[in-house]
Structure 1
Amino acid sequence: MKHQYQVTGMSCKGCQASVEKTLQSFPEIQNITIDLATGKTEIEMSSHITIKQLQDAFLRDGLHYSISEYHEHAMPHHHHQPQQPKKKGNGVYYCPMFCEGDKVYDKPGSCPVCGMDLVEQPAAKPKALYACPMHPEIVSDEPGSCSICGMDLVLQQPKDEEENTVYNSLRCKFILSLCFTIPVFIISMSGMLPHNPLYDIMDVSYWNYIQFLLTLPVVFYTCWMFFTRAWKSIITWNLNMFTLIGIGAGAAFVFSLIGLFFPTIFPDELKAHDGSVHLYFEATAVILTLVLLGQLLEARAHTQTHTALKELLKLAPSEATLWENGTEKRVAIDKIVVGNILRVKPGEKIPVDGILTEGNATIDESMISGEPLPIDKKEGDKLIGGTLNTNQSFLMKAEKVGSETLLSQIIELVNQAGRSKAPIQKLADTISKYFVPIIVGVSILTFIIWAIFGPQPAMVYAFVNAIAVLIIACPCALGLATPMSVVVGIGKGAQLGVLIKNAEALETLHKIDVVLVDKTGTLTEGKPSVESIEVVNGTNEKEFTKVLASVNQNSEHPLANATVTFAHQKNIALDSVHQFESVTGKGVKAVWNDQQVLIGNIGLLQEFKISITDVVLQKVKEKQAQGKTVSFLAVAGTLWGFVVIADAIKTTSKEALQYFKEQGIKVVMLTGDNPITAKAVANELGLDEYKAECLPQDKLQVIQDYQKEGKIVAMAGDGINDSPALAQAQIGIAMGTGTDVAINSADVTLVNGDLKNIVKAHQLSNAVMKNIKQNLFFAFFYNLLGVPVAAGVLFPVFGILLSPMLAAVAMSFSSVSVITNSLRLKSLKIK
């Protein structure tokens, strides 16, 4: 039977996956179809399940979605529903512990699961605005003059950092809380003095009332959010840090309140020698204020986790110089469209992605590619938006604008990757799920043991130690251990020119056993050039070049592009061809002047039974032995000759391969080229293993064979034919200079297409995983040590007890320490 339901509250694929996982826990459910846009959910089940049972399952799994009967004309309810981040704009917030995966929110607040303050995600630069310097109320989205005074409008420069409203709010509340807490603490501690001067002013009972009044603003204003979060966590059964704080501080405050107004109901052992009850207003105020301080420090630290991303955001210029009909015009960056000609002057940033059309330049691409040396550019070379023009003025043509630019895609990728979860976090998530109930149980057990076996006043010891156990336990330290390192690490990778798609890839990188690399564009420069043309059977060399380039102009392969460039350099006009078709792993074929043209390797000629003389074969082998690539050209069943193409090996390839050897990681070259050329390249690089004449399915099979042996495989490539292998490998690594298909199939993209950046990625992964393990060890060790000490295990031998106030200091310190340790990754030195 099939039923249709309306599920509201979903905002992303992560939400959809969570709903599907919960529904699949019912054995009666056989199939689930969810329309994320409308929330319409069709469930096929063997026997009927009530809506209440489905809703209870959501609550059981901590999901805040609502399910009801589906009505065709009903509109899904989106009140306070989290929204997906926009590629441009501000106001995107997420939970730093990623309790709900990659879900984000459009308003500041607290996480509905863990209760922590949501953190604002850096967004792309806001729209350029122009304002009058004399009348700031006059604002326009394009240059012009003020309608009041006539002055030119000037561009409003965005602030380097957006104002952190959460941090500022917490800081104000902390200062106010401190003003009330310090007097409470002084009044309470003065009671320990032998001749308390305060008691000369007023009786102790009046000072108790003053403590009560001073504690009220702390409890009901500056720190009231902790109690609301605690209550919310209990009613939703998403127990977290604030559950413990709310119970502990709330119990101390309520106890003190009853003790102040109804002292007669308490036993004598809870009273002082003058008959007054021991009150804990100072403990309540100090604990809450210290927790607030911890939240303040965390908020401050969180602003530093996106430092790398903010540096990338600063790269995007706000204006550009439009070149039209020989005149220059300054325009806002969002006014540029594809095809515009732009003037870039020395010292300016390149506004968008495009091609250099007139002049030469030296470009600093270090913030995008991670390479410190400027790169010389000539006409026809590609330019990346956000990079710096160092010395010459030139013209460029805009090819990609707005969200399509590489810089925008990097920012979006880093944002998405930073919100993903690493597999290692599952351990912390599992423990955190049971952590709070266990701590509450330990607190109750502590109270019982101290009440029965503790010294007098036993009930006082029992109460204080039970509260200390609740306060010192810190599940947020466990929850923050992994995501903080991931966010900082992925941002650091972006600075190095290594774009990591998700946290799982970042974790898997440091486990790789085998690295498989393509040759062209990966080990080599990927900028092949025609070295020579050998014609046979009386073929005219110019005609040979014309046919070769005419067919190859339809191909995206770097070798084909080299022949087209060669023809243009020879000023040879190209013809149109028909029925162009790629023959996988062998070459291409097409129809030119009603004749079939074949361009490719010897396998292609053999397939179409094209004969080759021994003399030609000998010449070809000599070229291939030198590491050159040879492509044959046959027209109408007759061999016309062959073209010799050279592609220089990247200078950094040897260095990168040597690193992997030292790490005990096997490197294997996979290439579609012939065995002779493959061997020559392998020998030059010092590679022990290579596989030649690999078709896409062959590369795929090699990966699967290694995976059957239990190996963790990384595959590096740049072409369309590499995309199946990139998708199959545990880690697919795409050269940023390659095709979009390859990049989309990969887990890691190297912006400048340098194999050495795989080394950087591996070193980064090692550093992040080490940092995560340090964080987890610290969080586990802290709780394993702190909770027993707070419970009083040291008291029988050493007479040491931990007051709830010191427990609050330790609890806040643990979270801040985890974040601070994660921030060390920002200064990581990777060569």
Structure 2
Amino acid sequence: MTHTYKITGMSCNGCRTKVEKTLNAIDGLEATVTLEPPIATITMEQHIATTVFQEALSAAGNYSITMDMGVGNEGVPIEVKSCCNATTKHNHTNAPVVKVAAGKYYCPMFCEGDKVYDKAGDCPVCGMDLVQQPLPQQAVQYTCPMHPEIIENEAGDCPICGMDLVPMEPTATSENKTYDDLMRKMKIAIAFTLPIFIIAMSDMIPGNPLMKIMDMQTWNWVQFGLSIPVVFYAAWMFFVRAYKSVITWNLNMFTLIGIGAGVAFLFSVFGLFFPDFFPSEFKTEAGTVHLYFEATTVILTLVLLGQLLEARAHSRTSGAIKELMKLAPTKATLVVDGIDKVISIQDIKRGDLLRVKPGDKIPVDGKITKGEATIDESMISGEPIPVDKILDDAVISGTINGTKSFVMVAEKIGSETLLSQIVQMVTDASRSRAPIQKLADRIAKYFVPIVVGVSVTTFFVWAVFGPDPALVYGFINAIAVLIIACPCALGLATPMSVMVGVGKGAQSGVLIKNAEALEIMNTVDVLITDKTGTITEGKPSVEKVYSNANNEDELLQMIASLNQYSEHPLAQAVVQFAKAKTIALIEVNDFDSVTGMGVTGTVGDKKVSLGNKKLMDQVQATIAPDLESKLIAEQKLGKTVSYIAVDAVAVGFVTIKDAIKGTSANAIKELLAQGIEVIMLTGDNENTAKAVANELHLTSFIAGCLPQDKLNEIKRLQAEGKIVAMAGDGINDAPALAQANVGIAMGTGTDVAIESAKITLVKGDLQGIVKAKKLSHAVMKNIHQNLFFAFFYNVIGIPVAAGVLFPVFGWLLSPMIAALAMSFSSVSVIANALRLRGLKL
């Protein structure tokens, strides 16, 4: 029998030769090993367990061997025939189809036919890892973003407000479905509405060239044909929602859209098929009735645009959770009796020993049992400096190991890990936002029944008291009331201001995710801000090198030369500082990195040590009282300070700080002047946090914050009635950003922070918050103006359309004039919104 195995740990041809020689030393097999790809083809007389190969390779070096299973184009294991009883290589064709129950484990080589196992393990025949049949996807439930009490098992519309229901949990297939569907309908609506609009407005074109092609009656039939895809496909959902709103008596904007556009369409169809039913006052010179297919389609298309903008925001709500999930590793290296075995993250149990190799993500929460490491914990702490870890130190799932290998014991697995808790916090915070009923819907709640009542009253008054033909007059005037009341401008009032405002913000480096962020930002009275990467630069830099004996440049040359061999960010900061001062680096001998303490080495003929007090004690360096007092003074300012010792005598120190951004002070000063409290929550130490808070005159600060601490503080402030904005840049800030009334992410931060936030500052600059506040105020003021324009023509036009001026002046408002008035209100809204383009931020 012949099997193919994957070998890891080979870096050169010497490794390949060593692995091949080691495998061939095992009795009963013949092995051929290649470097590219790194595989071993082994032919055996009888089955030999993979563990036997691993024991031999582990004794030879840091190599591991696993069964190499074929992978198809979609990343799914290829079904293969059992080769355990054959003498040829794998045949990846004509694989048997074996049905395996969900959740059960089976051998991908089908050595034992359809036999399955309840637990993970190795195939007793070929030794290959058993594979679990995927569990069925959990049923997705849907909720309304404005009414979270609505929970349905299928996608659809909210029975209260008519909005699209969104998944309660993110799914790969559903998150963009609504947006894609609306975009497709939007393209169709525009394609058919534009020619209708051109035909209807042809009278305004000098010479009316369209009439030279066909007469108006024929063009009316063309409009009718073009309107059918818009009404019965692209915008049909609005009529369905309008119907639901009526039968449930949850009247909303869709009620107005359905009634207004529906009546306009039915009126036009009726006028097209039965023109003789209408009096001459409502006919053109050619004898055709004024039709309103263009009003119908334009209304529906513009409302569809507003829905598309909302769907775009909803499609991104699960982005933060997806980014967080990407941090979790899918595999881990289990250590059993000294042998490494790659397993799924789902198979880890408490108490398991796991090997974490250089550059690997830590699979679960636990503590180090063997070895030491430098771990990048910025995704949890938000701090840029990796943390040195030694025996019994805790390690966190998703954080990244440095250049050393260590063994850890699993203590928290699955949903217990900190990363999983952060994911859950983001999910909960995203779903716990207070629903904001849109202003248009609140108005429509009263406006709809009033308009419908006026329309019905108009019909009966004209039918009873009007001149002949009374019923026709009543019907036409009732339609005029509905058309002029149709909320075309109401649907545009908010989206137009938001679109222009968002575009203006983008030009100024302020990215707005949705209209809700702009609305709430205008009322914010507390700003919570992270420190590292938000107020500060987010990267360590050398502030100064102090020497009490040697020349400072000479001392800098020594420590920079020493640090050139270290990958630690603090070391790199020293090296960059020296390079900026054009100081040449020299050779170092006997370099040694002492975990958690610092570095040592021989520079020239001098023994140089750079690190903390523990390192000074270890090298038995003497420290002058004057030098120590200066160093302590620096530490009290919250800076990172390292001793410099030459030949066992401390001769100076280097101070490293994370510099405050140049714009932070002015931005915070302006926000405080506007009456906004600015509170800093940071994972950094008390001294550093206090120094930054005092320098910037912050309202207050809290140091040593974990992600849940930031989240709880925001909840506490919200419980006091505060409107809270949160600015941050790290993954640890994601739950707080989601919980805050407005989350503000630094564009220089992580994707997770940006996805969790409603506002992103491209430049990673607090001055952007000042711009966002100013933009928010301007946009909200503009929206209120737009709402005035949206109703001004309606309030004036509805009584006229009802015929109140007829007894005195003999004036009636035909549906055509009603549509024109409605158009004027839309033009006013658009023109007013465009004024935001001139806003100076």
Indicate yes or no: 2:504 matched with 1:478.
Answer: no
CA distance in 2, matches of 1:713, 1:695: 19
Q: Deviations over 1:36-90 (max 9, x none)?
A: xxxxx8xxxxxxxxxxxx999999968799xxxxxxxxxxxxxxx99959xxxxx
Residue 264 of structure 2 corresponds to 245
The answer on whether the counterparts of 2:541 and 2:577 sit within 8 Å (CA) in structure 1 is yes
Q: Deviations over 1:475-509 (max 9, x none)?
A: 22222222222222222211111122333323222
Indicate yes or no: 2:518 matched with 1:506.
Answer: yes
Pick one of 756, 759, 765 that aligns with 2:770.
759
Q: For residues 697 and 243 of structure 1, do their structure 2 counterparts lie closer, same or farther at Cα, with a shift above 3 Å needed?
A: closer
Aligned residue type for 1:216 = Q
Indicate yes or no: 2:292 matched with 1:288.
Answer: yes
Q: Deviations over 1:587-606 (max 9, x none)?
A: x789999xxx997899x999
CA offset at residue 790 of structure 1?
1.2
The answer on whether the counterparts of 2:275 and 2:289 sit within 8 Å (CA) in structure 1 is no
CA offset at residue 760 of structure 1?
0.8
Q: Secondary structure at the match of 2:827?
A: helix
CA offset at residue 828 of structure 1?
1.6
CA distance in 1, matches of 2:507, 2:475: 52
Q: For residues 808 and 738 of structure 1, do their structure 2 counterparts lie closer, same or farther at Cα, with a shift above 3 Å needed?
A: closer
The answer on whether the counterparts of 2:528 and 2:727 sit within 8 Å (CA) in structure 1 is yes
Q: Deviations over 1:330-360 (max 9, x none)?
A: xxxxxxxxxxxxxxxxxxxxxxxxxxxxxxx
Residue 716 of structure 1 corresponds to 727
Q: Secondary structure at the match of 1:829?
A: coil
Residue 98 of structure 2 corresponds to none
Q: Secondary structure at the match of 2:477?
A: helix
The answer on whether the counterparts of 2:501 and 2:836 sit within 8 Å (CA) in structure 1 is yes
CA distance in 1, matches of 2:809, 2:820: 22
Residue 23 of structure 2 corresponds to none
Indicate yes or no: 2:183 matched with 1:105.
Answer: yes
The answer on whether the counterparts of 1:294 and 1:813 sit within 8 Å (CA) in structure 2 is no
Pick one of 496, 500, 507 that aligns with 2:508.
496
Q: For residues 181 and 249 of structure 1, do their structure 2 counterparts lie closer, same or farther at Cα, with a shift above 3 Å needed?
A: farther
Aligned residue type for 2:276 = L
Q: Which structure 2 residues correspond to residues 28-43 of structure 1 after superposition, within 5 A? A: none
Pick one of 182, 199, 223 that aligns with 1:173.
199
The answer on whether the counterparts of 2:528 and 2:726 sit within 8 Å (CA) in structure 1 is yes
Indicate yes or no: 2:639 matched with 1:629.
Answer: yes
The answer on whether the counterparts of 2:490 and 2:791 sit within 8 Å (CA) in structure 1 is yes
The answer on whether the counterparts of 1:422 and 1:504 sit within 8 Å (CA) in structure 2 is no
Instruction: Structure 2: give runs of 5+ residues left out of the alignment.
Output: 1-101, 103-138, 167-172, 243-257, 310-432, 602-608
The answer on whether the counterparts of 1:485 and 1:772 sit within 8 Å (CA) in structure 2 is yes
Residue 256 of structure 1 corresponds to 275
CA distance in 1, matches of 2:140, 2:827: 33
CA distance in 2, matches of 1:709, 1:284: 65
Q: For residues 720 and 579 of structure 1, do their structure 2 counterparts lie closer, same or farther at Cα, with a shift above 3 Å needed?
A: farther
The answer on whether the counterparts of 1:170 and 1:296 sit within 8 Å (CA) in structure 2 is no
TM-score (norm 1): 0.51
The answer on whether the counterparts of 2:681 and 2:710 sit within 8 Å (CA) in structure 1 is yes
The answer on whether the counterparts of 2:302 and 2:488 sit within 8 Å (CA) in structure 1 is no
CA RMSD of aligned residues (A): 5.6
TM-score (norm 2): 0.51
Q: Secondary structure at the match of 1:667?
A: strand
Indicate yes or no: 2:472 matched with 1:468.
Answer: no
Q: Secondary structure at the match of 1:512?
A: coil
CA distance in 2, matches of 1:230, 1:281: 25
Q: Which structure 2 residues correspond to residues 207-222 of structure 1 after superposition, within 5 A? A: 214-222=215-223
CA offset at residue 612 of structure 1?
10
Aligned residue type for 2:458 = T
The answer on whether the counterparts of 2:510 and 2:760 sit within 8 Å (CA) in structure 1 is yes
CA distance in 2, matches of 1:757, 1:470: 45
Of the structure 1 ranges 653-662 and 679-688, higher mean CA displacement relative to structure 2 is found in: 679-688
Percent of aligned pairs sharing the same letter: 47
Q: Deviations over 1:227-264 (max 9, x none)?
A: 665566497464254213113334445553357xxxxx
CA offset at residue 789 of structure 1?
2.7
Q: For residues 616 and 503 of structure 1, do their structure 2 counterparts lie closer, same or farther at Cα, with a shift above 3 Å needed?
A: farther
Pick one of 695, 712, 715 that aligns with 1:704.
715
Q: Deviations over 1:741-786 (max 9, x none)?
A: 4434433222222221111111111112222222223324443443
The answer on whether the counterparts of 1:256 and 1:281 sit within 8 Å (CA) in structure 2 is no
CA distance in 2, matches of 1:522, 1:64: 35
Residue 831 of structure 2 corresponds to 820
Q: For residues 790 and 572 of structure 1, do their structure 2 counterparts lie closer, same or farther at Cα, with a shift above 3 Å needed?
A: farther
Q: For residues 591 and 794 of structure 1, do their structure 2 counterparts lie closer, same or farther at Cα, with a shift above 3 Å needed?
A: farther
Indicate yes or no: 2:465 matched with 1:453.
Answer: yes
CA distance in 2, matches of 1:802, 1:619: 87
CA distance in 2, matches of 1:495, 1:17: 38
Q: For residues 177 and 576 of structure 1, do their structure 2 counterparts lie closer, same or farther at Cα, with a shift above 3 Å needed?
A: farther
CA distance in 1, matches of 2:298, 2:157: 35
Q: Which structure 2 residues correspond to residues 297-696 of structure 1 after superposition, within 5 A? A: 426-429=438-441, 439=451, 442-455=454-467, 458-526=470-538, 528-533=540-545, 553-554=567-568, 562-566=573-577, 571=585, 618-623=629-634, 629-632=639-642, 643-672=654-683, 675=686, 678-692=689-703, 694=705, 696=707
Q: Secondary structure at the match of 2:722?
A: coil
Q: For residues 172 and 672 of structure 1, do their structure 2 counterparts lie closer, same or farther at Cα, with a shift above 3 Å needed?
A: closer
Q: For residues 18 and 601 of structure 1, do their structure 2 counterparts lie closer, same or farther at Cα, with a shift above 3 Å needed?
A: farther
CA distance in 1, matches of 2:239, 2:737: 46
Aligned residue type for 1:426 = K
Q: Secondary structure at the match of 2:292?
A: helix
Instruction: Structure 1: give runs of 5+ residues left out of the alignment.
Output: 5-14, 33-40, 42-53, 66-80, 86-99, 111-116, 119-164, 186-212, 260-269, 271-276, 306-420, 581-587
Aligned residue type for 1:652 = T
CA distance in 1, matches of 2:540, 2:757: 24
Q: Secondary structure at the match of 1:522?
A: coil
Residue 131 of structure 2 corresponds to none
CA offset at residue 176 of structure 1?
5.0
Q: For residues 648 and 106 of structure 1, do their structure 2 counterparts lie closer, same or farther at Cα, with a shift above 3 Å needed?
A: same
The answer on whether the counterparts of 2:145 and 2:435 sit within 8 Å (CA) in structure 1 is no
CA distance in 2, matches of 1:707, 1:748: 19
